[in-house]
Structures are given as C-alpha cells and as structure tokens.
Amino acid sequence: MARRVGMEVSIAAAETVALLDVDVVAAYPITPQTHIVEHLSELVADGQLDAEFVPVESEHSAMSVCVGAAAAGARTFTSTSSQGYALMVEICYIASSLRLPIVMALANRSMSAPISIWNDHADMMLARDTGWIQTVAENGQEVVDLIMHAYRVAEDHRVLLPVIVNLDGFILTHMIEPIQLPTKEEVQAYVPPYKPLLRLDPDNPVTIGPVGVPEVYTEAKKAQDEAIKNAKPVILEAWDEFEKIFGRKYKPIETYKAEDAEIILVTVGSISETAMRAVDRMRAHGKRVGLARIRLFRPFPVEEFVDAVRGAKLIGVVERALGFNGYTGPLCAELKSVLFDNGLNPYVWNFIAGLGGRDVTVEDFEEMAECLEVKANKNEPMGYEIVNARE
C-alpha cells in the first residue's frame, strides 16, 4: 500500500526516481539545481539506490552523459531549470532525434536577464520544439505520478522518446505537502524493467547518430515526427493503466467546471489550483466560468482541447511566458491556431502573468475573467497584455 507522507515535493520526486531503479543519474549539482538530484545523490551515496550518479561540470555534459547512458541501454534521469536547461538544449535535440527514452524533471524557472531564480514557464517554452514529450504537474502528487508515467511512456517500444515532466520551480519544488508515495511493487507493476530495442553493444555493433545527408535527413525527421504523433495513444493508454493501479485519473486536457462555461480560462501548472478557487468564487456569484488546464503539452492534444473549449464564447489564455513576437504569448499563438483549424471562433485574450516569481492570486484570476468580458463586449481587437505590470 502507498503511504501518505508529508514531504518536500523535490524529495518525493527523487524518491520516485529511486523506486524506478534508474541506472544512471547525470546532473549539474549546483544552481539552478533543486533538491531532486541532491537527494538522489544522497540515496546513491547511502547505498539505497544502486545507480551511477554522475555530477558533471555543466548541464550540457549532464545531457551528454544521459545520451551515452541511454544509448548503452541504461534507464537514465536528469533534472534542471531555466539557464541550466538552456545550456542543455543542444544535446536535448540529439536525445529526441536518437529516440532515447531519457526522463527529465524540469523545475520551471525564468530565464535571465535580469537575473531571476524564480518561477515561470520560459524554460518550458524553450523545450517546446525539441521533440521531447512534455507533461505538466499542478501539485506534488502529480509530480510523483507523472514521473512514473514518463518512464512507462518513454520506454514503450511504440514510443522511444524522451519525456520532460514540468513542475513549477519553488511553488512545487520547495513545497511541503501530503503525498501518497507508492511502494516499489506498485511502481514495478506499472513500469516494467527497461528493455532497449537497440543499444550500443560491442558484441552486436550498431551505429547510433550517424551523419544525415540531404538524401536521408528529411526522412529521418519525418520518422521522428511520426513517432511523437504516434506517442499520443500510448500516453493515454498509460494514464488508463495508471488509474487501474493507483486510482488517480489523468487526462491530456484537464477541465474544471468547464461543461457549461461561457468563459474558459486556460492555465498551465500550479496556478491552476489557485484558478480553481477563483472559479468557485466566480461561480458563487453566478458567473459561468471554467478552466481548461494543459496536462499534455507535447504532443499537443488538439482534439481534447477543442472538446474542452467548444462551448465557450470567451477564452482567456493565462500563460507564464512571453513570445516576443509582438502579437501574443507562445501558448496562445498555438491555441489560436488550433481553434482556427477547427472552425471555432471565440473571443480570445492572452494574459501573461506570473513572470519571474510574481504571484498569481485568486483576485488576479477574477480580474482577468472580468477584463476578458469587458474587452469582448467592447469588441476590442484580440491581443495580449502583461498582467499587473507597473508602467
């Protein structure tokens, strides 16, 4: 039986990785690192986890070690944040292109400058086009659950792609809260031992990562594109199986009171929990507001998103990143394209909130919903604004 513990979310994440019996953890051990790899290094040092812990000199090297280890057939894990992720990105493209099932916990934090250690989703957006599967946790329990899910999906031979589990830096990583920590038996029942399809083996030599001349590069990329598209049914199947074992249900787009909602706010990550309280308060005043929360970001769950927002006349996309394209945030641009492709034409306003650790409160969500109504009633041209920014 799972046990209910009070625990810092980073520690719970590390304990989960240890229950998964990873073979290799490679990570840069200092800023912007979290307690996740600190605790994993303790577990390895104390002999509680039989794994190679490689404390490399940079995140670039961390991902390089992960690539080598995964290519050799090891179950691998790493974790980073913000600037550290940025340094890792070069190798992240290689990990997904080589179809290596590496799992990363990305503790979402803002990109400098100005120097910021606080939370937003700039790094999640930097990971957007790297070909990794990406899921998003809203609380500590979901971090634990999504890490298990990540390995089950990544290592499935129908997928073989790396997975990022996004968790908000500080707001989740440094939070102490109750968590149902699974037992090793439960984890193993859900995630079978990793059996590599191909691996670097001197007795059975293969080439991994050769040159892709123009005659083959396009086809290699097409194959990779098909792989992430084909991953979606496996991702859903793995959540169904998860519910059977653990009783907790996950969907690619989670909704909250969205069925009859005229106004839908779209949220990503831990602010969704605060947004739910705002929805409850607005509903108590008769406003038909609901939420659509992005759980699966890559591959993007188009049908589920369209189903979730189909009935809404007004949509407010709340995101914690800027696109610097002069017209909208990165998530909102993508969602508008999904709406357009599916013949939906609601009024959409983009709220950029919670940058660099700025709190997003219940009152903020109430104001956003009101602002959305005012703009729609005035038929203002659709666009975006940075919430609560001083002039």
Q: What is the 3-state secondary structure (H, E, C) of 296-343?
A: EEECCCHHHHHHHHCCCCEEEEEECCCCCCCCCCHHHHHHHHHHHHCC
**Is residue 361 within the footprint of other proteins (CB under 8 A)?**
yes
Q: How far is the CB of 220 from other proteins (least distance, A)?
A: 42
Q: Side chain identity at 177, as an amino acid letter?
A: E
Q: Identify which of residues 131 and 140 has a Cβ nearer to other proteins in the complex.
A: 140
Among positions 201, 359, 370, 380, the unique one binding other proteins when judged by CB under 8 A:
359
Q: Identify which of residues 347 and 365 has a Cβ nearer to other proteins in the complex.
A: 365
Q: Identify which of residues 176 and 216 has a Cβ nearer to other proteins in the complex.
A: 176
Judged by CB under 8 A, the chain residues 271 through 300 that form the site for other proteins are 271, 273-274, 276-277
> Are the C-beta atoms of residues 55 and 2 closer than 8 Å to each other?
no
Name the burial class of residue 159, with classes exposed (0-12), middle (13-18) and buried (19+) by CB atoms within 10 angstroms of its CB.
Answer: buried
Neighbours of 124 (CB within 10 A): 27
Q: How far is the CB of 176 from other proteins (least distance, A)?
A: 4
**Is residue 5 within the footprint of other proteins (CB under 8 A)?**
yes
Q: How far is the CB of 118 from other proteins (least distance, A)?
A: 6
**Is residue 6 within the footprint of other proteins (CB under 8 A)?**
yes
Q: Identify which of residues 199 and 281 has a Cβ nearer to other proteins in the complex.
A: 281
**Is residue 2 within the footprint of other proteins (CB under 8 A)?**
no
Q: How far is the CB of 362 from other proteins (least distance, A)?
A: 7
Q: How far is the CB of 270 from other proteins (least distance, A)?
A: 5
**Which x/- pattern, by CB under 8 A, does the window 111-140 give for other proteins?**
------xxx---------------------
Q: Identify which of residues 362 and 382 has a Cβ nearer to other proteins in the complex.
A: 362
Q: List the one residue out of 182, 249, 248 whose CA is nearest residue 18.
A: 182
Question: Of 38-46, 211-219, 229-237, 355-363, which segment contacts other proteins by CB under 8 A?
Answer: 355-363
> Are the C-beta atoms of residues 43 and 49 closer than 8 Å to each other?
yes
Question: Of 242-250, 354-362, 370-378, 381-389, which segment contacts other proteins by CB under 8 A?
Answer: 354-362
H-assigned helices in 157-296: 184-190, 214-246, 271-284
Which residues, in sequence order, are bridge partners of residue 26? 54
Q: How far apart, in whole angstroms, are the C-alpha atoms of residue 11 and residue 13?
A: 5
Q: Identify which of residues 7 and 161 has a Cβ nearer to other proteins in the complex.
A: 7
Chain centroid offset of residue 47 CA: 30
Q: List the one residue out of 307, 61, 313, 269 whose CA is nearest residue 173.
A: 269
The two three-digit tokens of residue 29, written as one number: 């051990």
Q: How far is the CB of 68 from other proteins (least distance, A)?
A: 34
**Beta-strand relationship, 289-294 and 253-256:** antiparallel
Chain centroid offset of residue 237 CA: 18
Q: List the one residue out of 159, 158, 177, 157 whose CA is nearest residue 167.
A: 177
Q: Side chain identity at 260, as an amino acid letter?
A: D
Q: How far is the CB of 177 from other proteins (least distance, A)?
A: 5
**Is residue 72 within the footprint of other proteins (CB under 8 A)?**
no
The two three-digit tokens of residue 272, written as one number: 């969704």
Q: How far is the CB of 342 from other proteins (least distance, A)?
A: 31
Q: List the one residue out of 137, 302, 152 whose CA is nearest residue 240.
A: 152
Question: Of 85-93, 142-150, 171-179, 285-293, which segment contacts other proteins by CB under 8 A?
Answer: 171-179
Q: How far is the CB of 142 from other proteins (least distance, A)?
A: 12
> Are the C-beta atoms of residues 379 and 314 closer than 8 Å to each other?
no
- Applying CB under 8 A, what is the total number of residues that bind other proteins? 24
Q: How far apart, in whole angstroms, are the C-alpha atoms of residue 98 and residue 259?
A: 41
Q: How far is the CB of 276 from other proteins (least distance, A)?
A: 5
**Is residue 318 within the footprint of other proteins (CB under 8 A)?**
no
Among positions 21, 68, 156, 170, the unique one binding other proteins when judged by CB under 8 A:
170
Q: How far apart, in whole angstroms, are the C-alpha atoms of residue 32 and residue 26?
A: 15
**Is residue 176 within the footprint of other proteins (CB under 8 A)?**
yes
Q: Which residues bind other proteins (CB under 8 A)?
A: 4-6, 117-119, 170-171, 174-178, 270-271, 273-274, 276-277, 357, 359-362
